[in-house]
Amino acid sequence: MNLILFTFIVLLGFTSYYFGRKKAYTIQSTKKRLTALPQFYGYYLAIWCAIPAFIIFSLWAIFEPTIVKLLILSDYSNQGYLDDELNLIYEKTKALSRGQFTGEITPFIEASAEKYLSLRSIAQSSKVVIVLSAIIASVAYAYKRISSNSRTREPVEKFLNAVLFTASLAAILTTVGIVFSLIFQTIDFFKVIPLFDFVFGTHWYPAKAFVRDSSEALDPTMYSDTFGAVPIFAGTFFIAFIAMCVAIPIGLMSGIYLAEYASYKVRQYAKPLIEILAGIPTVVYGFFAALTVGPFLKELGTSMGLEVSAESALAAGGVMGIMIIPFISSLSDDVITSVPQSLRDGSYAMGATKSETIKRVIFPAALPGIVGSILLGVSRAIGETMIVVMASGLAANLTLNPLESTSTITAQIVVILIGDQAFGDPKTQAAFALGMSLFLVTLCLNIVALRVVKKYREKYE
Amino acid sequence: MNKNKEQLLNKRYKAEQRFRLYGQSAIFMALLFLTIFIFKIFSTGYSAFQKTWLIVPVTFDAELMMLEQNPSKEDIQDADYYDIALKSMADLDLNANEDQENELKRMVSYFFEKEIKNELLNDPSLIGKTKEVYLTASDDLDQVFKGNYPRDLPEDQRRVSDYQLKIFDQLVANGKVESKFNISFFTNADSREAELAGIASSFMGSIFSILVCLMIAFPVAVLAAIYLEEFAPKNRFTDFIEVNINNLAAVPSIVFGLLGLGVLLAIFQLPRSTPLVGGITLSLMTLPTIIIAARASLKAVPPSIREAALAMGASRMQTTMHHTVPLSMPGTLSGTIIGLAQALGETAPLILIGMVAFVNTIPGSPMDPAASLPVQIYIWAESAERGFVEKVSACIMVLLGFLITMNLFAQIIRHKFEKKWS
């Protein structure tokens, strides 16, 4: 039904474009001067035809279920039901009206189901009537405007401008959506677990929250010493540190080499090849780390008499480092290439060798940009999920030994939220709290990094 | 004094050479990682494109199948195949005792009844006759045949018994084991049994998610880019939008998964595990990428084009829509494809919105539960069975194939259609 109405509105929009343009030609044939190109008459009519109808249509779709629910449940309002029970009654009613109800049918629910069906059919027909009358009214108005040859280009362009502006709000809406989805769960979480325990506690054992019987009331004392995030934060930064130990030297040196030494030919092939590393999906890296690097390190360690976990932080961090190489190399390559040639020439004129010029002149000049690129790399390493989930451990050990397994924020979020989630459970909320801290940390890193890079660019442009 | 100078100079030249060497070895290391990586994936994955079949003589005994004389098509469809299937496996070793018969049965996939049934459905005249039928070997024997199975382990540590190996080796010696191209890897949905598992369901899941993502992200991103580049006044609010876009481009993907879970599933009550939700989540992630690419290519259109159009009396909207935007399309499109390729390889957000569910049917629409290719890689990589290792690598090869094709396509669009303005 909705689909038919939707298609009908779209078709009407197209036809009204045609009629609007035709009207313009008729006006033109009376030797009157048009105020805009004929197609704008068409656009004008089409917009007036379709847009009000769509607005009503979507508002209806949003509010209809809520209103129907309110009307159905008003029958039960003074019988002292709880909210959950009312929801259950409503679900039963809906199921019954669809003929999918399997439980015991009480007369109350049967009456409600009948009421539900009649309300729905009233809603459907009134929707059609209202949408159609809206179309008729707005088209009549627009057609009158066209016939009197008033301006059409300006309103059409204003409308388009508004559409463009709305689209550009999508980015803000997404950010708002992220904050919105994280903040409520996080606040609920900190109502049960004190912020202090979360930030400074050293035991992370969310599985404990599973042990309780779900019908029992929440007992805050039970959760003390369960959601201490220090091991997780430490593990996250530790693995990121290992990753940067791999990525910074290799990435930076290859960036410098590509920018300063490499011949055109080498650059042409080496640069895109290195960038392939950035295009490989992270789950593939995770598989590689878990299947190849982890066992390899374990064997290597055993042969040297070391105890290495098969899911060591070293394996996850090392592979993550490989993934980050191209980010650092291409960003620092860009940054170094944009250092003005005059600085190099000055240094060469003083008799410096190429490496001395790079180390003493170009590197200091490019430093802010390089720092920015490293910060972006760190932010990637902290937010990286799949490598850690697959190659590093899931138990949160507080350790600084790269051969043991540790866990990270992202890995814990996945572990907690994989499968079915019960919203309102401290365990689920803990994942959102972790997500919030991840978002905040990476946000700060990104803002600083982007600002540093931008300042640097402005300096030399 | 002079000698000292020479020494110093030599030292400086040495340092120069060393520095150069560091650079070269850094590049070498990066390329080495890439090579090891690709080699490892290909060397473990190529064998998954072959499938091992056992050729077993099956006697289509009408009595055992409970078939009447001159059965109709429906009768054949409903007949009982378990007994003849079991019997033909047991007949591989006439002296087998009951336990050994059970082991014989486990040498083929649990699909063997159906394979025998299909054989008869194709040719009903086989009733009462004996024919050699191709049966899918169990995943362990498949690995044995491909030489990936550690046969020298003690018997209690492997899932293939000595007895099964003995019969299998006899079959191999008689030429009754054959390896053929693994079509079912591309046509089957996921399965708990490695020998039957395929990528069809996750492939369709990926396609649907990417389509949803394209349909949402592309129009919104292009419109937003046009506004920001051509119409937006320079003020605080525009700056704020810009900061937002740049930040979103660097937000970890898992946070978008939390957004999908907390808003799309919990508040809007969209169906869980579906490509619809996955596509919307991915579209929010690709939005900034496409906006940034589209803005860059709008910026690359020289001002002279706009000035010429404006001078001819076009309005700003007409100038933009008729001239600037079409000229910027190649760059925008190639940016879009690159963004979609990123989205195609994304795993973490999809796991959070439940696209890790075990799906053994091929989804027919974006509203059906599905996995996606990267998630399938994750699911199989977490399985303990040996047969899945090569499947994972093969799935990675398919995924990488897609990504490379998409990126090549983006390059071609950029180089063929983009106008050079200088």
pLDDT on residue A450? 83
Q: If contacts are CB pairs under 8 Å, which of residues 242-281 in chain A contact chain B?
A: 249-254, 256-258, 260-262, 270, 273-274, 276-277, 279-281
Per-residue pLDDT band at A216 (split at 50, 70, 90): low
Instruction: Tell me if B293 sits within 8 A of B341, measured CB to CB.
Output: no
Smallest CA–CA distance, residue B222 to chain A, in Å, is: 9
Q: Please give the backbone phi and psi of residue A23, each rounded to the nearest 5 degrees, phi first.
A: -60, -40
B206, B166: one domain = no
Of residues A171, A177, A421, nearest to B288 (C-beta): A171
B217, B338: one domain = yes
Q: Is A3 on the interface with B (CB under 8 A)?
A: no
pLDDT on residue B176? 84
Is B410 among the domain residues? yes
B298, B390: one domain = yes
B157, B302: one domain = no
B392, B336: one domain = yes
Which tokens belong to B156?
């209690």
Is A171 among the domain residues? no
Is B38 among the domain residues? no
CB contact under 8 Å between B254 and A410, yes or no, is: yes
The answer to whether residue B368 scores a pLDDT higher than 80 is: yes
Is B344 among the domain residues? yes
Domain end residue (candidates: A151, A166, A193): A151
Is A92 among the domain residues? yes
B224, B161: one domain = no
Is B301 among the domain residues? yes
Secondary structure of A69-133 as H, E, C letters: HHHHHHHHHHHCCCHHHHHHHHHHHHHHHCCCCCCCCCHHHHHHHHHHHHHHHHHHHHHHHHHHH
The answer to whether residue A185 scores a pLDDT higher than 90 is: no
Domain housing B111: 47-182
Domain end residue (candidates: A119, A151, A183): A151
B56, B174: one domain = yes
CB contact under 8 Å between B246 and A181, yes or no, is: no
B253, B338: one domain = yes
* Domain CATH number, residue B289: 1.10.3720.10
CB contact under 8 Å between B244 and A175, yes or no, is: yes
Domain end residue (candidates: B182, B217, B239): B182
Whole-number percent of chain A with pLDDT over 90: 31
CB contact under 8 Å between B20 and A355, yes or no, is: yes
Mutate to test the interface with A, among B231, B255, B397, B405 (most CBs of A within 10 A): B255
Domain housing A446: 230-460
Q: What distance in Å separates the CA atoms of residue B384 and residue B381, rounded to the nearest whole number?
A: 8
More confident residue, A209 or B193: B193
Is A278 among the domain residues? yes
pLDDT on residue A219? 60
Is A179 among the domain residues? no
Is A197 among the domain residues? no
| CA–CA–CA angle B204, B209, B210 (5° rounding) | 100
Range name among A122-126, A422-426, B169-173, B381-385 with the lowest pLDDT average: A422-426
A345, A448: one domain = yes
A25, A119: one domain = yes
B178, B252: one domain = no
Is B30 among the domain residues? no
A140, A246: one domain = no
Give the helix ranges, DSSP H, for B270-353.
275-300, 303-311, 316-319, 325-344, 348-352
What's the rounded mean pLDDT across residues A392-408? 79
What's the rounded mean pLDDT across residues A416-424? 74
Per-residue pLDDT band at B354 (split at 50, 70, 90): confident
More confident residue, B357 or A415: A415
pLDDT on residue A159? 93
CB contact under 8 Å between B287 and A414, yes or no, is: no
**Contacting residues of B for A157, CB less than 8 Å apart:** 315-317
B208, B329: one domain = yes
pLDDT on residue A220? 58
Q: Please count the residue pairs, one from chain A and one from chain B, whose beta carbons lie less than 8 angstroms apart.
A: 261
B247, B376: one domain = yes
CB contact under 8 Å between A450 and B382, yes or no, is: no
Smallest CA–CA distance, residue A77 to chain B, in Å, is: 24
pLDDT one-digit tens code per residue, B81-105: 888 888 888 888 878 788 888 888 8
What's the rounded mean pLDDT across residues A60-86? 79
pLDDT on residue A218? 57
Q: Is A390 on the interface with B (CB under 8 A)?
A: yes
More confident residue, A357 or A62: A357
Is A141 among the domain residues? yes
Q: If contacts are CB pairs under 8 Å, which of residues 167-226 in chain A contact chain B?
A: 167-172, 174-175, 177-178, 180-182, 184-185
A236, A116: one domain = no
Smallest CA–CA distance, residue A322 to chain B, in Å, is: 7
pLDDT on residue B159? 79
Is B8 among the domain residues? no
Is B194 among the domain residues? no
Domain end residue (candidates: B151, B182, B213): B182
More confident residue, A351 or B124: A351
What's the rounded mean pLDDT across residues A122-149? 88
Domain end residue (candidates: A151, A173, A193): A151
Domain end residue (candidates: B182, B213, B240): B182
A285, A418: one domain = yes
- How, if at all, do strands B130-136 and B50-59 pair? antiparallel
CB contact under 8 Å between A281 and B374, yes or no, is: yes
- ipTM (interface pTM): 0.88
Is A63 among the domain residues? yes
Please tell me the total count of domains within chain A. 2
Which residue is associated with the tokens 């093969």? B394
What's the rounded mean pLDDT across residues A172-189? 90
The answer to whether residue B183 scores a pLDDT higher than 90 is: no
pTM: 0.87
Per-residue pLDDT band at A461 (split at 50, 70, 90): low
pLDDT on residue A84? 75
Long-range pairs for B312-315 at CB < 8 Å and ≥24 separation? B315/A153, B315/A157
More confident residue, A286 or A71: A286
Instruction: Tell me if A333 sits within 8 A of A258, measured CB to CB.
Output: yes
A235, A366: one domain = yes
Q: Which of A51-55, A322-326, A425-429 has the highest mean pLDDT?
A: A322-326
CB contact under 8 Å between A168 and B263, yes or no, is: no
Is A16 among the domain residues? yes
B126, B204: one domain = no
pLDDT on residue B422? 63
Q: If contacts are CB pairs under 8 Å, which of residues 395-454 in chain A contact chain B?
A: 410, 413-414, 417-419, 421, 423, 431-432, 435, 438-439, 442-443, 446-447, 449-450
Cα-to-chain-centroid distance, residue B258: 23
pLDDT one-digit tens code per residue, B115-165: 888 888 888 887 878 888 888 888 888 888 887 787 777 877 777 888 888
Mutate to test the interface with B, among A263, A280, A283 (most CBs of B within 10 A): A283
Q: Please give the backbone phi and psi of residue B288, each rounded to the nearest 5 degrees, phi first.
A: -60, -40
Range name among A217-221, B12-16, B409-413 with the lowest pLDDT average: A217-221
Please tell me the total count of domains within chain B. 2
pLDDT on residue A215? 52
Of residues A252, A386, A419, nearest to B348 (C-beta): A386
CB contact under 8 Å between B254 and A385, yes or no, is: yes
A442, A300: one domain = yes
What's the rounded mean pLDDT across residues A362-386? 91
Is B402 among the domain residues? yes
